[in-house]
Structure 1
Amino acid sequence: MASEEDLILIGLVVALLPNNNHNKKQKIKRKRSKWVKQWLHRQTHNNLINELRLEPDDYRNYLRLKEEIYTELLGLVFQIIQKEDTIMRQAITPHERLTSTLRFLVTGRNYEDLKFSTGISAHALGKIIPETRRAIFDVLQENYCKFPRTRQEWEQIGLDFENRWQFPNCLGAVDGKHVRIVPPAGSGSYYYNYKQFHSIVLMGIANSNYELILFDVGTNGRVSDGGVINNTSFYKALLNEKLNLPPINHRNNLPYVFIGDEAVALRKDFLKPYSERELNVDRSNFNKRLSRARRIIKMFLAY
């Protein structure tokens, strides 16, 4: 058993160790050696964007938007993401915030890597990008991902499918996309899909004009495609008849339907292609028509 002198000695040794709490507090209080690194301060990203304006194809490839669309988006989010200058430094502009966020979405690069091309520190990007993404979602969701609420809106979608793609009574094309991710630590095969990579699933519904009317994201990639759609709030509302769908098209006396691939369950309001083993001439023609109408969502999710 240690004597009283031994305990006192042990206490002194622990107190003098370099990782003790006192030294930790002193480390936290250490002053910055510089406020901004010089190469970050030069803001080279703005110069690159200005140069790309002279090459429209490169500009569109860099931000995945035409300049006029980018300008419109910047105008929508400007007031939301604008910050005030202080006596210590100028705020990062809305233009810099938006272009950095778009590059993050386009490339999927981490903040440490993105700071070299944007001229913004990784710490600042960790605050800027989530704020800007939320602002983009808030200003676009009502007008650019508007889910139909009335029977008249659903009927218009069905009429548009008939006129544009010659597939009557269709209310939307449904499909999913596996978005590749780095899985969380300890998740095992929870996100590992049949394509042999880790993913979460983006499920979307598009109208005849290549516009999303609904999307659902977050289901782990291990779940089958049929299971993914079963987990969506859309499918649950469809089963419970809470979507306010028109019961029948009075011009042809047939019900309105959604269309999907082989993974979805066949229902009176959900069509899928015939199996290859069951094809005849009529069924093959139906599959071609269905595939032609479904190409909308397939092309949308291909980006």
Structure 2
Amino acid sequence: MELRDYPDRFKIYFRMSVAQFDALLAILKPHIKKKTTNFRETFDPEQRLAVCLRYLSTGDSFTTIASSFRLGISTVGMIVRETCDQICLQLKDTYMPTPTEDIWKHTVRRFNERWNFPKCIGALDGKHVKIEAPANTGSLFFNYKGTFSIVLLALVDADYRFLAIDVGSYGGNSDGGIFADSALGRTLHRGTLNVPAPLELPSAPELGKVNHVIVADEAFPMKPYLLRPYGGKRLQEDKRIFNLRLSRARRISENAFGILTQRFRVYKRPMEVNPDLADNIIKATCILSNYLRHEVMGQVSQVDSFDFDNAGNACLEEFQRPRGNRASEEALHIRDTFRKYFVSAAGEVPWQYDRVRCGHTVIV
């Protein structure tokens, strides 16, 4: 009896159903199949995909997997690298489309429907992915948590799917600095990411038009397109309500990281691979996460992920980072406009006052 004869066990082993595995194999098979020669007998595509998914879903070492599949350790490493590369290449066009205005509008609608935050195009956060200390890199990958890591910066939609990812920054860098240097940060700064034009908030024309915004925590700078909470401990009620509403929308990014970590347990321990392979592994897991959510929801996912490696690179020399981190008057005005909206008859929700007055800051 094969593993696929036990659907429940198969799902636990690979973090997907037999049908999902077969659909993925059908996409990848022509690209991971190797030719048989006089000097070697090839490892068939199904087994190659199984080896890769075994590593991603369990986090077992190459040595353990090599023993289970009766392969060499270097062969397992090669299979994981090549399969992750093909996952990125072959699933990119379907599950990692470059955002269009229609995609942003869909995201805005879902954030308003599910999390009561209008004009929001995504929740932004960074995750430190632990790796073994690379040789001859000094403290570049050493982070404030006392471990070595590379950073996954992700923009997430209202349904826990990755809209945009930036992978590979040194763990010693701050989230705000990584965002400023990322293709997402550069394209937003230039206004070339197909984001819809400013619009009025629902049923509140008196507040004027506002930008579509990303919600983030205190680690990121205030921008006209990026909202962060008000700072301080003794805030007025309207500011606490704004922080509550923003936190409720922003936590989606943290939840998406939690889902990713539980589904792909390679994140549970330091990756014993070089940084380049770690980058590919992270990208592949993010794409697979979107693929699995698409399969579960039963509809074509239009809002999954954005490949930073192929965006905005031609304009690197044109970008100049703004001097200093002080928020502009425009950014502060936009945040104040959202604050006023959330305590107005058009924008308030019934539970916000009880939550704030009881001392709650985030709704779980």
Structure 1 residue 92: deviation in Å?
0.7
* Change beyond 3 A, Cα 1:132–1:285: same
- Residue by residue, what CA displacement relative to the aligned partner does 1:253-282 show, whole Å, maximum 9, x if unpaired? 322101111111011210012224252322
Match of 2:96 in 1: 145
For 1:74 and 1:279, locate their aligned partners in 2 and report how far apart those are by CA, in whole Å.
Answer: 54
Match of 2:130 in 1: 180
What is the one-letter code of the residue matched to 1:54? Answer: Y
For 1:176 and 1:293, locate their aligned partners in 2 and report how far apart those are by CA, in whole Å.
Answer: 15
Structure 1 residue 251: deviation in Å?
5.4
Structure 1 residue 197: deviation in Å?
0.7
Any unmatched runs of 5+ in structure 1? 1-46
Structure 1 residue 88: deviation in Å?
5.6
- Residue by residue, what CA displacement relative to the aligned partner does 1:40-65 show, whole Å, maximum 9, x if unpaired? xxxxxxx7xx3465251x43332222
- Residue by residue, what CA displacement relative to the aligned partner does 1:105-145 show, whole Å, maximum 9, x if unpaired? 23444433320122222232233221111111112222222
Match of 2:27 in 1: 76
Match of 1:282 in 2: 238
Q: Does the alignment pair 1:192 with 2:142? A: yes
For 1:177 and 1:269, locate their aligned partners in 2 and report how far apart those are by CA, in whole Å.
Answer: 21
For 1:222 and 1:71, locate their aligned partners in 2 and report how far apart those are by CA, in whole Å.
Answer: 40
For 1:87 and 1:185, locate their aligned partners in 2 and report how far apart those are by CA, in whole Å.
Answer: 38
Q: Does the alignment pair 1:170 with 2:120? A: yes
For 2:21 and 2:175, locate their aligned partners in 1 and report how far apart those are by CA, in whole Å.
Answer: 34
Structure 1 residue 208: deviation in Å?
1.4
Instruction: Using the aligned pairs only, state the percent identity.
Output: 33
For 1:53 and 1:210, locate their aligned partners in 2 and report how far apart those are by CA, in whole Å.
Answer: 31
Q: How does 1:260-275 map to 2 (within 5 A)?
A: 260-275=216-231
For 2:235 and 2:12, locate their aligned partners in 1 and report how far apart those are by CA, in whole Å.
Answer: 42
Match of 1:31 in 2: none
Q: 1:125 aligns with which of 76, 97, 105?
A: 76
Q: 2:214 aligns with which of 255, 258, 264?
A: 258
Structure 1 residue 69: deviation in Å?
1.7
Structure 1 residue 200: deviation in Å?
0.4
Which stretch of structure 1 is more off in the superposition, 224-233 or 80-89? 80-89
Aligned to 2:211, what secondary structure does the other structure show? coil
Any unmatched runs of 5+ in structure 2? 203-208, 262-364
For 2:98 and 2:239, locate their aligned partners in 1 and report how far apart those are by CA, in whole Å.
Answer: 31
Aligned to 1:277, what secondary structure does the other structure show? coil
What root-mean-square deviation, in Å, do the aligned CA atoms of Structure 1 and Structure 2 show? 2.0
Structure 1 residue 250: deviation in Å?
4.1
Q: Does the alignment pair 1:236 with 2:186? A: yes
Aligned to 1:92, what secondary structure does the other structure show? coil
Larger radius of gyration: 1
Q: Which has the higher contact order (CA 8 A, sep 6+)?
A: 2
Asked if structure 2 preserves the Cα contact closer than 8 Å seen for 1:63 and 1:102, the reply is yes
What is the one-letter code of the residue matched to 1:301? Answer: F
- Residue by residue, what CA displacement relative to the aligned partner does 1:71-94 show, whole Å, maximum 9, x if unpaired? 211111011111233456542111
Match of 1:296 in 2: 252
Structure 1 residue 207: deviation in Å?
1.3
Which stretch of structure 1 is more off in the superposition, 105-114 or 198-207? 105-114
Asked if structure 2 preserves the Cα contact closer than 8 Å seen for 1:144 and 1:211, the reply is no
What is the one-letter code of the residue matched to 1:76? Answer: I
Scaled by the length of structure 2, the TM-score of the pair is 0.65
Q: 2:176 aligns with which of 203, 226, 233?
A: 226
